Amino acid sequence: MELRVLKYFLVVAREENITRAAALLHLTQPTLSRQLMQLEEELGVKLFRRSKYRIILTDDGILLRRRAQEIIDLAEKTRQEFQRQEGELTGEISIGCGELRAVSYLAERLAAFQRTYPLVDYQFYSGNSDNIKERIERGVLDFGLLLEPVDISKYEFFRIPVVEEWGALVSERSPLAERESLTPEDLAGQPLILTGRALVQQQFAQWMGPYAGQVETVAHGNLPYNMAMLAQQEMGIFVTLRLHCTYEGLRFLPLAPPMRSGTVLVWKKDQAAAPAASAFLKSLKNPN
């Protein structure tokens, strides 16, 4: 498969129209159609279902769209890693992270690194620990900022000196909003909105102790803003990390006894890092 043809495929998948895609790619419609047919023949599958007004991806087409984007992203990342100017450090550092207070520490260190190496670019990917680890394995990300508990046995890591504090966003109309903190007994039997990560759910169940059997979950999710909107509509109490943000109509209350989590910056073991990523790692470990 040629990168050029994969790019053609992605444009067609996005536009859902051969004529429109051909115009954007500055190709004739027959030329583009022929390229797509050759791609289907090469893979031995049908990538599109053609209707009168649009073309629709088959299941195989949906899989190829995902893989093609990953291949092109990785090719572009590789190209940037080898683009160096004489005496200057260039390239891209790609980092995956969730919405964490530890990002402020990471941003501080990146800003210091940028002052020394202003030609380096940065790409951030937002996600939870599980899909960030997956992207590290595929080589799309250099680093991942992961919330513990998390299995990091396959990675080298740097522990971030920031402790994440758990609490809950409660509607200001709830009687619980008058509390200074929330105990397991307070949350027992209450409709709760929790993270989708199994390891964090286990950590929360341990914190609930004898009340773990009374956890009533109404929703799971991995994006705090979306879950906060559910809490805002009083669908439930959102158990989440303390972040540097507020939501109208909601009050953040810490858990008591405290429930805390650490964060680690991880990268693949025994793998040669690109020059920019290697230099940042060195600056992280030796700030002076």
Q: Domain for residue 278, yes or no?
A: yes
Is 103 within 8 Å of 97 (Cβ atoms)? yes
Residue 83 predicted with pLDDT over 70: no
Kindly state the percentage of the chain with pLDDT values over 90: 58
Q: Do residue 136 and residue 273 come from a single domain? A: yes
Q: Do residue 172 and residue 29 come from a single domain? A: no
Residue 165 predicted with pLDDT over 60: yes
Q: Do residue 202 and residue 173 come from a single domain? A: yes
Q: Domain for residue 153, yes or no?
A: yes
Q: Do residue 158 and residue 269 come from a single domain? A: yes
DSSP class per residue in 134-156? HHHHTTS-SEEEEESS---TTEE
Q: Domain for residue 119, yes or no?
A: yes
Q: What is the pLDDT of residue 170?
A: 97
Over range 12-33, report the average pLDDT: 89
Q: Do residue 146 and residue 280 come from a single domain? A: yes
Q: Domain for residue 240, yes or no?
A: yes
Q: Do residue 173 and residue 47 come from a single domain? A: no
Residue 84 predicted with pLDDT over 70: no
Is 96 within 8 Å of 147 (Cβ atoms)? no
Q: Domain for residue 183, yes or no?
A: yes
Is 193 within 8 Å of 227 (Cβ atoms)? yes
Q: Do residue 67 and residue 206 come from a single domain? A: no
Q: What is the pLDDT of residue 156?
A: 93
Q: Do residue 153 and residue 274 come from a single domain? A: yes
pTM, to two decimals: 0.71
223 lies in which domain range? 163-260
Strands (E), 69-142: 91-97, 120-126
Q: Do residue 63 and residue 120 come from a single domain? A: no
Q: Domain for residue 38, yes or no?
A: yes
pLDDT band at 222 (very low <50, low <70, confident <90, very high): confident
Q: CB under 8 Å to 236, separation ≥6 — which residues?
A: 190, 191, 192, 193, 217, 218, 219, 230
Q: Domain for residue 37, yes or no?
A: yes
The pLDDT mean for the chain works out to 90
Q: Do residue 158 and residue 267 come from a single domain? A: yes
Q: Which of 57, 81, 105 is the last residue of a domain?
A: 81
How many structural domains does the chain have?
A: 3
Q: Do residue 277 and residue 220 come from a single domain? A: no
Q: Domain for residue 86, yes or no?
A: no
Q: Which of 33, 59, 81 is the last residue of a domain?
A: 81
- CATH assignment of the domain containing 231: 3.40.190.290
The CA-to-CA distance between both ends of the chain, in Å, stands at: 47
Task: In whole angstroms, give the CA distance from residue 81 to residue 189.
Answer: 53
More confidently predicted of 32 and 87: 32
Q: What is the pLDDT of residue 145?
A: 96
> Which tens digits make up the pLDDT trace of 111-158?
999 999 999 999 999 988 888 998 898 888 999 999 999 999 989 999
Q: What is the pLDDT of residue 113?
A: 96
Q: Do residue 175 and residue 140 come from a single domain? A: no
- CATH assignment of the domain containing 66: 1.10.10.10
- CATH assignment of the domain containing 275: 3.40.190.10
